[in-house]
Amino acid sequence: MMMSPERNSVSNKIPATRPGSMKGVEVLLRGSGAGISVRSLSGTFGQIGVISADANLLLGPPGFTLSVGGSKRATTVKIGTKDFSQVFTFARVGVQMSFLVGGSRLRAQVGGWGYVPTEVKEMKIGGEGEASIIYTPPVVPIYVQLGYRTEVFTSKSGTTLAPEEIRGLRLGAGFQFGGK
């Protein structure tokens, strides 16, 4: 997957907006009632790098799936020749719905996930949302995906909050075996 997002953030009470680019990989294995997914995503926004990875257990059919898993997220700021990093660990809980669009070869997906911190001193509850359209040709085992993704994350340092939002268009492609 690839994204061309922007990152809105507030640091030391100073708001900033930076364009960036993100790339990642996602693997999904599922049956009719359960599955697992693993995703890794990384990007840069000027001097700031963001890397996230999560693994999820999927419960229920593709039409309405509950997702429970864990995630790690690292933010790196380059100041001069030094990199300063923060790593966060949190639970990721959400729902996703998927449905066919009429008689077309299109499938629509919409989902939302909450971030529950393992250390409430390090971050606030956050979340992400995504909506997309997926096209799968009738014979070839590939798919293309076009969507929009947004993520809200707030780190803490003592009484100081550093909220950020990453949002943008998502473009994906891959292989799909079975379940067409």
In tens, the pLDDT along 25-65 reads: 999 999 889 999 999 999 999 989 999 999 999 999 989 99
Half-sphere exposure of 46 (CA within 13 A, CB side): 11
Q: How many CA atoms lie within 13 A of 22 on its CB side?
A: 31
What pLDDT is stored for residue 160 in this prediction?
86
Q: How far apart are CA 129 and CA 149, in angstroms?
A: 6
Q: Please report the pLDDT score of residue 115 as a whole number.
A: 97
Task: Tell me if 150 sits within 8 A of 167, measured CB to CB.
Answer: yes
pLDDT score, position 117:
95
Residues of the chain whose pLDDT is less than 50? Answer: none
Q: Is the pTM of this model over 0.85?
A: yes
